[in-house]
């Protein structure tokens, strides 16, 4: 090529065998480099897919907490305040395929209008295997339930309007176990809102509901 960018007709005529051999070699090297590029991209794509699948199967699901029962039998009795008691049960499920949970002590607190009215230890530390569901029963009465007569009057007032709303908080510290590796501790909170009807039992619309779980 000359500086103006156009091919010199004289040179064009003098394309030699050497010229063609060089062109063939060049196209061969671009083809080889394209092939290497393609192989590299395919390897990248496949390892990306593999990493994604591994991540999907290892991705930890947080514990699934469901509330099943929550009752304040005394609400249905005339002088129930004397023997006020709250019983409940929740389930904690580990829905992971390969990840276990180490729970520290599990504790339950009951709130009414954001004020804690009861607290009780629920479970000692335990290891929960993948795909296991553990039932947690709780009873609050006497010393673990701090309800004075004024608070009880508030309950009865709510009851006369159809329901009393409580919140059960289940808390624990948990560690995730993946094969031989353990995570650090995470503080888990499950907040279960429950409505209790005039008979002292959980209202159907609140039963068997999943409680939001978050970590701090």
Least distance to ligand NAG from the beta carbon of 91, Å? 6
27-66 footprint of ligand NAG as x/- string (CB under 6 A): ----------------------------------------
Strand partners, 164: 196
Binds ligand NAG (CB under 6 A): choice among 30, 133, 157, 208: 133
> Would you count residue 210 as binding ligand NAG (CB under 6 A)?
no
Confirm if 20 and 26 have CB atoms less than 8 A apart: no
Distance (Å, rounded) from C-alpha 75 to C-alpha 203? 13
Candidate residues 64, 68, 189, 209; the one interacting with ligand NAG per rule CB under 6 A: 68
- Report if residue 201 touches ligand NAG, rule: CB under 6 A: no
Identify the residue among 134, 171, 173, 183 touching ligand NAG (CB under 6 A).
Answer: 134
Least Cβ distance, residue 112 to ligand NAG (angstroms): 21
Of 166, 171, 178, the closest CA to residue 213 belongs to: 171
CB of 204 to ligand NAG, least distance (A): 13
Residue 135 is a binding residue for ligand NAG (CB under 6 A): yes
Task: Give the contacts of 180 (CB within 8 A, at least 6 positions apart).
Answer: none
Taking contact as CB under 6 A, which single stretch among the options 57-65, 127-135, 140-148, 169-177 is the one that binds ligand NAG?
Answer: 127-135
Q: What phi and psi values does residue 158 have, to the nearest 5 degrees?
A: -60, -40
Report the residue number, 91 or 146, with the smaller CB distance to ligand NAG. 91
Beta bridge partners of 202: 196
* Site size for ligand NAG (CB under 6 A): 9
Residue 116 or 125: the one with the smaller Cβ distance to ligand NAG is 125
Interface pick for ligand NAG out of 58, 60, 64, 69 (rule CB under 6 A):
69
Backbone angles phi, psi at 180, to 5 degrees: -105, 5
Q: How far apart are CA 177 and CA 60, in angstroms?
A: 10
- Asked if 132 touches ligand NAG (CB under 6 A), the answer is yes
What is the binding site for ligand NAG (CB under 6 A)? 68-69, 89, 91, 126, 132-135
């Amino acid at each position: 090529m000359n500086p103006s960018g156009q091919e010199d007709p004289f040179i064009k005529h003098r394309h030699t065998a050497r010229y063609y051999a060089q062109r063939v070699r060049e196209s061969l090297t671009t083809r080889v480099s394209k092939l290497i590029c393609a192989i590299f991209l395919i390897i990248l794509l496949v390892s990306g897919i593999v990493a994604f699948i591994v991540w999907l199967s290892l991705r930890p699901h947080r514990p699934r907490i469901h509330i099943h029962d929550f009752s304040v039998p005394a609400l249905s009795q005339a002088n129930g305040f004397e023997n006020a008691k709250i019983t409940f049960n929740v389930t904690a499920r580990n829905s992971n395929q390969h990840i276990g949970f180490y729970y520290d002590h599990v504790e339950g607190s009951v709130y009414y209008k954001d004020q804690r009215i009861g607290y009780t230890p629920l479970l000692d530390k335990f290891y929960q295997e993948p795909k296991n569901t553990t039932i947690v029963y709780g009873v609050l009465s006497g010393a673990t339930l701090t309800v004075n007569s004024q608070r009880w009057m508030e309950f009865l007032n709510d009851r006369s309007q159809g329901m009393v709303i409580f919140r059960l908080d289940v808390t624990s510290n948990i560690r995730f176990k993946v094969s031989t590796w353990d995570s650090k501790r995470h503080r888990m909170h499950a907040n279960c809102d429950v409505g209790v009807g005039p008979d002292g039992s959980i209202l159907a619309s609140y039963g068997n509901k999943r409680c939001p779980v978050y970590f701090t």
